[in-house]
A and B are shown apart, each in its own frame.
Chain A
């Protein structure tokens, strides 16, 4: 049916741009790494390396080949799961990332869930009570959260829950697969800290777009058909208002991953960022490249997911280019506001 063809087209369109973006982003960062001049010879051989030893090592790592050749061979290996080995520890990068990534994925998922629940509830509540005290409180809290350094939220949570009340550990980690209860104890504070910014952004956008949607004729139309207020809100207003908020959620994914670096350091979590941070201080290029690749991949996959949900949610955007443009406009505005 045309319905499925439309979805298929949407998926193809949703994927073709990210592939280009993926190539540009990975090539850009790969080239930066190559330009940086940090090489295994300097790292491994130290100060008194002979030029021939350096040349030999560079050859061994394939660093004497042209940049494009290096990039595509690296990318080819990367896509088959081989990200090279650390200059320092000689541990395969994919092994280290394989251990670190689940930490971030589980943490970021929890943080996103918090952001959606807290931000969604706050946004809906303040849209329904617009102009009333609750609305002003939510908007004040959101503005304040936008000015708080991410790590300060973490510090506040540590002081409150770990130092003053001693309810939760201030740092450490247990894998989810090993002990879900313990995992939650360790993940709760970092996830809350990470979600604050996203929750504020979602609450703001959802309030704005829901207030807009509630003023739309189709809401009046739905009320005129005698549908219950709850149904008008959830099925009619929220469905159309959720789009821009969802776009904000997509924009928030990189922010949450960036915030995870800080959270990992603060809560002593063994994640990708911790790995990159160590590698960064040691100028261990393959590990940094691997961490960047994984980050770019995660961000793009979540963007694709957001776009697919968006086209399912507001099908008119799928067929009418003007609606798609309008949506892109809202997204841009949302982004500028974020």
Chain B
């Protein structure tokens, strides 16, 4: 699919919307109803007002296709003749709403804070009034007429237009191209003309279709209550209302006018959806995994597995399929991580390192699945070996936390924004142990202290958004080690942090490995981190391990062209540091 330029996309919205069959059907129905509204009375087979006392409440027949009502009037003719009045009522209400809502909504963004506040409160005030109740009141104040009832409904539709227009314009004023246009000195009016309307008009079109559907329902509700109708003249709602009195004789009678209203409302809503979808549809971006899946490996063989001393994790021949099995992104990866060892997985994005890592934790995204190979936790003195490819949900719950801890990039996003972080740690602790609340709290504070959080009590009660990136990562590490796992997986855990904080977090990880004998699997694209921290490095490319060895060996004397390229890239990224390469080697050795 090719990306379309922005302005041709706008023009194409309607055409694109109509490519959908449902939208075509909906448009057809809408046109049909419009014809019925204009010519319905003329096309009606009988006089909609002609009474026939000899034929009241009859069922459908050749003469009366939909039967007759309690005065012997032809139901079909009344339905057809009534469509005009029903539709015009809805149009009137929506027209009033449109006229009252759009400009004040736009003005609320440009006329200053006082106007904005006051107009928003007025809108809020309107929104406290239910349509039907307000229409009842207005017809009470001004007398019962269609105009009064529809004006009341229209006034209450105005806030919808106000808010929708305001929201669309608000979204637009924050986009870069309007800011850029202002910077270039384009006048407000010019910006309005060129950018604003093209953005707002589709929104207004969608809202209008929805509002028409809603207004039609309200009009028929009001007609049902006897508001805005003059009795012998038919409308859809009035038909339903009179049907209700004869429900026991003709229980099916409300069906046809009811279905008609549903049909029109449904068609309008479908049109609105089609226009909105067509407006928001963009060309989907190519996923990084696609490239990985489709890229050809330069040389077919994955490197030999280097056995780890006292291994904790053993991955053998792991294959991961993506796109629901249609492609493969990891092509047989094997490695081991030993107790107290730090193994780095490096590679460009899309090289399969994160997929590998996620397979170990059983947290692959939907559409991705392990398609071959084995993943095992080998266990130790007091832990059982576990086949990670054969776990059910409950089995995973016993592994994640007590056996494998996981730390992610962008740590704050992995914490629930609505719960204080201390309570999230307590929750994790209590999910795997029998600790009481008080014990868990004490343990949590202890853990917070052990990951270098200076005021555990304060942090305990804080929400994720109140923490700095480094603090959030420490909290996440505390949660990850709270189950006393054998294996810790750090997926780009320091990538989003600034250099100083990054160094602190790396120190913390190193000391955790040393003190607790953890096995650490570190996923990163940063060779600096690898050189600094890792014992062993696995270089990923296109779903394969293309090189592995000690950090000093890989960074100092890269054998594979991909590794060289990663190193070169690291050099290019930091122009001015001519000795980065030697620095990296120095750090690693």
Contact = CB atoms under 8 A, between A and B. Distances in A.
Co-complex (A, B): yes
Interface of A: 17, 20-22, 24-25, 28-29, 32-33, 35-38, 143-144, 146-152, 155, 158-159, 163-164, 170, 216-218, 220-229, 231, 235-236, 239-240, 251, 254-255, 257-259, 261-262, 265-266, 273, 276-277, 279-285, 288, 291-292, 295-296, 299-300, 303, 313-316, 319-320, 323, 329, 332-333, 335-336
B396 A226 contact: yes
A320 B402 CA distance: 35
Given A220-B414, A291-B133, A291-B137, A21 B431 contact: no
Interface-centre pick from A144, A261, A313 (highest chain B CB count, 10 A): A261
Contacts of A222: 416
B128 A227 contact: no
Contact of A152 (B227, B240, B428): B240
Contacts of B415: 218, 221
B213 A155 contact: no
- Majority SS at the chain A contact face: helix
B416 A21 contact: no
B122 A152 contact: no
A240 B418 CA distance: 7
Interface in B488-536: none
Interface residues of B, number: 84
A17 B127 CA distance: 13
Interface in B367-426: 393-394, 396-402, 406, 408, 410, 413-419
Contacts of B400: 223-226
B160 interface: yes
B124 interface: yes
29 contacts: A29-B137, A36-B141, A36-B142, A38-B143, A146-B265, A147-B266, A149-B221, A152-B254, A152-B258, A155-B243, A155-B258, A220-B408, A220-B414, A221-B416, A224-B480, A225-B431, A228-B393, A254-B128, A259-B132, A261-B130, A273-B133, A276-B137, A279-B140, A280-B227, A291-B137, A296-B129, A314-B417, A323-B465, A332-B167
A92 B131 CA distance: 26
Interface in B140-197: 140-144, 160, 163-164, 167
Interface-centre pick from A146, A251, A319 (highest chain B CB count, 10 A): A146
Interface in B93-146: 121-122, 124-134, 136-144
B553 interface: no
Given A36-B142, A316-B417, A300 B221 contact: no
Contact of A17 (B124, B138, B213): B124
Contact of B133 (A36, A163, A258, A281): A258
Contacts of A254: 127-130
Nearest to A219: B416
Contact of B121 (A20, A152, A258): A20
Nearest to B248: A163
B244 A335 contact: no
Contact of B213 (A147, A259, A299): A147
A335 B130 contact: no
B354 interface: no
B363 A277 contact: no
B140 A38 contact: yes
Nearest to B263: A147
Contacts, number: 260
Contact of A24 (B122, B144, B480): B122
A283 B143 contact: yes
A56 B99 CA distance: 41
Given A144-B266, A217-B414, A273-B133, A33 B141 contact: yes
B72 to A, nearest CB: 22
A225 B125 contact: no
Top 8 nearest A-B pairs (CB, nearest first) are A36-B141, A258-B130, A221-B414, A226-B401, A280-B140, A226-B400, A147-B265, A25-B125
B224 interface: yes
Contacts of A152: 240, 254, 258, 261-262
A249 B418 CA distance: 20
B402 A226 contact: yes
A291 B138 CA distance: 12
Contact of A257 (B133, B393, B427): B133
A201 B352 CA distance: 41
A222 B480 CA distance: 11
Contact of B164 (A217, A280, A315, A336): A336
Contacts of B226: 281
A227 B247 contact: no
Interface string B198-234: 0000000001001001000100110011110000000
Given A38-B140, A223-B400, A314 B121 contact: no
Contacts of B227: 280
A147 B130 contact: no
Nearest to B398: A226
B251 interface: yes
Interface string B418-456: 110000000110011000000000000000000000000
A240 B416 contact: yes
Contact of B136 (A24, A221, A273): A273
B261 A149 contact: yes
Given A223-B363, A236-B416, A262 B224 contact: yes
B167 A226 contact: no
A296 B402 CA distance: 55
Interface-centre pick from B137, B408, B419, B463 (highest chain A CB count, 10 A): B137
Given A143-B266, A266-B244, A320-B465, A280 B121 contact: no
